Amino acid sequence: MIDAGQLRKGIAIELEGKLYQVVEFTHIKIGRGSAQVKLRLRDVRGGGVIERAFQATERFESAFLDRRAVQYLYSDGDTYHFMDDESFEQVELDSEKLGDSVKYLKDGLSLEILVHGSDIVSVELPVAVELEVVETEPGFKGNTATGGTKPATLETGVVVNVPLFMSVGDRVKVDTRTGQYLEKAS
């Protein structure tokens, strides 16, 4: 058991039969009343985010999430294959468990899987991935980095808005949390 006051970002707890990870933590003390803790929690299995407030005296069941470094190998229909970096054991996950993460998977990508007990609950992508532009409208002379944007299809099939000067074959960095263009990769 863990007290609400001991909660910090990244800690996993069990709440109402679900596994959550603390995304944001705020301690609130209002006037004469008792202190409260406002939590922003991410459902580890489902991926959704909820906000809840609790009394500072409340206790939670702590959960241990093991992080294992893996490398993406290939997909076989809706099944995605990864290799554990330490044991070289292959791990299979279906697209339902991966969710939107499949949009950023490319051969050789290093990421982490989160394991609770013997159950793989989710994957954690790097903050940014580097992908190649495979389809976009041609850029024209005079297009600048501060101008408008245009849609571009990247090698994994995801479509992002890129600056007008980008063309097919260019490599871009994309934020995996928001799906937005970050910068041209060198």
| Domains of the chain in sequence order | 2-63 (2.30.30.30), 66-124 (2.40.50.140), 128-184 (2.40.50.140)
Is the pLDDT score of 1 beyond 90?
no
Give residue 156's region: left, alpha or beta (phi > 0; psi -120 to 50).
Answer: alpha
Share the mean pLDDT of the chain.
84
> Model pTM greater than 0.85?
no
Own/partner pairs for 78-87, CB < 8 Å, 24+ apart? 80/105, 82/111, 82/113, 85/110
**How far, in Å, CA of 66 to CA of 49, rounded?**
21
pLDDT score of 159: 92
* Residue of higher predicted confidence among 30 and 128: 128
- Contact status, residue 127 vs residue 105, Cβ threshold 8 Å: no
Is the pLDDT score of 86 beyond 60?
yes
